[in-house]
Each structure stands twice: as structure tokens, then as C-alpha cells.
């Protein structure tokens, strides 16, 4: 994968089996534009289709904020989030990411505040590491807007309705400790440790069999919305996983007391 230049709104860097993707509009606190959304979706799609990439860490440039959501300056100048032909594939992949359908695990690493669409990005990730100095939430109602990326859906599917409604209807922000207590993030650490902790989690994931990881992610994501459907899907996929080359390799490596060599097949 080609590393982006500093002129791009998204920087992509390959670190072994991990793709490090960084929102790159630090002067605008990494506010989301049509271009940035399209580039992020394109990077996720490329990672998903690359058998050598087994996890994505999503972070951001600068130390002011992870992402403050939609670029309100551009919005006031007439920007919309309607797909353009240039980024059609990227937008489709971004939409799948927000729905939890990207097959490769995605770990959010927010070293600063994430609000609005920025918080939605974190909610869409599979694992999340945030700063103990940041603030997080969906303040759209304070600007006459709604969480157009699906923040209300993601909160409503994870929290008791009273808690989800409180966060969405007041627009109040929470700190990292509160976000963790609500089960919305996995780790809360000092800002300078966020990326290292996220990469360590990625290393633990990429050490495992990629096919088993992808199927496990799919089952857990589906179970959160529809447990019976998840059991049905499990029954459909279980045989292929148990018959895979990776399953045979896992057993052989265990018996030989060596590290497994995964192929994803």
C-alpha cells in the first residue's frame, strides 16, 4: 500500500500486518469532509481486500482533537455528504464500516476529543482506545443537526434507552472514564500512550488466525443486533472454519509447541 503524502486528508502507513490510517486535517481539528470520508473508506476497502493486512488502527494527526465531526465551515458554504463519482467506492466502504460490516478488525485510537462524526467513527470501530484528557459525545442537536452517520443507532443498540437518549438529546459530552464505564471504549490511557496501546491490541489480534478472527467478528457483530440470526450464521460458517488450513495449522502448532504460521485459508 502506498503511503500518502502530507497533502492528503488521510495518511496511510503499513506496519507489518497492520494498516495505520490517520485523519490528516489537524488545522481543522480533523473535521470530516467529503474527500476525507471517501479516502478513509477507500483505505478500509483496500485493507479488507489485502490478505496481508489483518487489522487497521484508525488515529489522527495533531494533538488538538481526534475529530470534531463534520466540517461546519464547509457545511455552511454548501457542502453536502452526497456521494461523488470520484469517491463512490470509498463512500460505499465507509458506509459498510459504520454498519460494522468491514471484515478486517478496526481499532480506534483517539488521542484527543472526538465529538459528532468523530465519536461516530470511534463507535463504529471494533475496539477503542481513548485519552483520559479527551471528551466524547454527540452534540449535533445543539447545532440543529442529527447524528447523520448513525451515532444514535450505535448508542441505541448498545446502551439502555434512557442513557442513549440522555446523551443524544442533551448533546452532553463525557470523559474517557465515563465512556469506559458505559462500555463504549476498551482502554483509557494518557494521550501519549493511546497509539502504542492501540498498536499493542492490533498485534494481539494479528497474531491470531485471520479467517477465525474475521468470522468471529462477524458473529459477534450480528449477535449484538439479532442473536438468532447470529446462531444461524454460525451454523453456516462453522464447518468451513473447522475444515480450514488455519485450523489444521493451529492444532499442529499446538502439538509441536511452536508458533503457528497462518495463511488465512
Catalytic residue among 39, 46, 48, 140: 140
What is the structure's pLDDT at 82? 67
Q: Are residues 227 and 143 both part of a single domain?
A: no
Q: Does residue 43 lie within any of the structural domains?
A: yes
Does one domain contain both 248 and 165?
Answer: no
Mean pLDDT of 23-34: 93
Q: Is the domain of 176 the same as that of 230?
A: no
Tell me the average pLDDT across 223-237: 95
The CATH number that applies at residue 40 is: 3.90.226.10
DSSP string, the chain: -PPPPTTSSEEEEEETTEEEEEE--GGGTT-B-HHHHHHHHHHHHHHHH-TT--EEEEEESSSS-SB-SB-HHHHHTT---PPPGGGHHHHHHHHHHHTT--SS-EEEEESS-EETHHHHHHHHSSEEEEETT-EEE--GGGGT---TTSHHHHHHTTS-HHHHHHHHHH--EEEHHHHHHTTS-SEEE-GGGHHHHHHHHHHHHHTS-HHHHHHHHHHHHHHHH-HHHHHHHHHHHHHHHHTSHHHHHHHHHHHHTS-------
Is position 265 within any domain?
no
Residue 172 has pLDDT above 50, yes or no: yes
Residue 71: pLDDT band (50, 70, 90) is confident
Work out the pLDDT band at 4, boundaries 50, 70, 90. Answer: very low
236 is catalytic: no
Looking at the structure, do residues 160 and 250 belong to the same domain, yes or no?
Answer: no
State the pLDDT at residue 251: 95
Identify whether 152 is part of a domain: yes
Evaluate whether residue 264 is within a structural domain.
no
Are residues 176 and 243 located together in one domain of the fold?
no
100 domain residue, yes or no: yes
Whether the per-residue pLDDT at 74 is higher than 80: the answer is: no
pLDDT at 76: 57
User: Residues 223, 178: one domain?
Assistant: no
State residue 75's pLDDT score.
Answer: 58
Q: What is the mean pLDDT of residues 242-261?
A: 95
Asked whether residue 92 falls in the same domain as residue 152, the answer is: yes
Confidence band (pLDDT; 50, 70, 90) for 84? low
At 155 the pLDDT is: 96
From the candidates 7, 39, 120, 236, give the one annotated as an active-site residue: 120
Domain that holds residue 229: 210-256
In a domain, 195, yes or no: yes
**In which band, very low, low, confident or very high, does the pLDDT at 2 lie, cut at 50, 70 and 90?**
very low
| Residue ending a domain, choose from 171, 189, 206 | 206
Residue 5 has pLDDT above 50, yes or no: no
Is 245 considered catalytic here?
Answer: no
User: Same domain for 78 and 152?
Assistant: yes
Q: Work out the mean pLDDT of the chain and round it to a whole number.
A: 92
The answer to whether residues 142 and 233 belong to one domain is no
pLDDT (0 to 100) of residue 87? 74
The pLDDT value given to residue 1: 39
235, 165: one domain: no
* Whether residue 182 is found in the same domain as residue 221: no
- Residue 6: predicted pLDDT: 45
Instruction: Report the CATH number that the domain containing residue 218 is assigned in CATH.
Output: 1.10.12
For residues 69-80, average pLDDT: 67
Residue 4 forms part of a structural domain: no
Domain count, the chain: 2
> Average pLDDT, stretch 103-113?
97
Q: What is the mean pLDDT of residues 47-75?
A: 89
Same domain, 236 and 152: no
Amino acid at each position: 500500500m502506498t503511503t500518502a503524502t502530507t497533502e492528503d486528508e488521510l495518511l496511510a502507513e503499513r506496519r507489518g500486518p497492520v494498516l495505520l490510517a490517520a485523519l490528516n486535517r489537524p488545522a481543522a481539528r480533523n473535521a470530516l469532509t467529503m474527500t476525507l470520508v471517501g479516502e478513509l473508506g477507500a483505505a478500509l476497502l483496500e485493507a479488507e481486500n489485502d490478505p496481508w493486512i489483518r487489522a487497521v488502527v484508525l488515529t489522527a494527526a495533531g494533538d488538538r482533537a481526534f475529530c470534531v465531526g463534520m466540517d461546519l465551515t464547509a457545511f455552511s458554504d454548501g457542502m453536502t455528504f452526497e456521494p461523488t463519482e470520484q469517491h463512490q467506492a470509498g463512500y460505499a466502504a465507509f458506509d459498510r464500516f459504520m454498519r460494522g460490516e468491514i471484515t478486517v478488525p478496526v481499532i480506534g485510537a483517539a488521542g484527543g476529543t472526538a465529538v459528532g462524526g468523530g465519536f461516530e467513527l470511534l463507535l463504529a470501530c471494533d475496539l477503542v482506545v481513548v485519552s483520559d484528557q479527551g471528551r466524547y459525545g454527540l452534540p449535533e442537536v445543539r447545532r440543529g443537526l442529527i447524528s447523520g452517520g448513525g451515532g444514535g443507532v450505535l448508542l441505541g443498540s448498545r446502551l439502555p434507552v434512557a442513557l442513549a437518549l440522555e446523551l443524544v438529546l442533551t448533546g452532553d459530552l463525557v470523559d474517557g472514564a465515563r465512556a469506559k464505564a458505559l462500555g463504549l471504549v476498551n482502554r483509557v490511557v494518557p494521550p501519549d500512550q493511546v497509539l502504542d496501546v492501540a498498536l499493542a491490541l492490533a498485534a494481539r489480534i494479528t497474531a491470531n488466525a485471520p479467517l477465525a478472527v474475521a468470522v468471529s467478528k462477524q458473529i459477534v457483530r450480528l449477535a449484538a443486533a439479532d442473536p438468532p440470526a447470529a446462531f444461524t450464521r454460525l451454523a453456516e460458517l462453522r464447518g468451513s472454519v473447522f475444515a480450514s488450513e488455519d485450523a489444521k495449522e493451529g492444532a499442529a502448532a499446538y502439538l509441536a509447541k511452536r508458533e503457528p504460521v497462518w495463511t488465512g485459508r
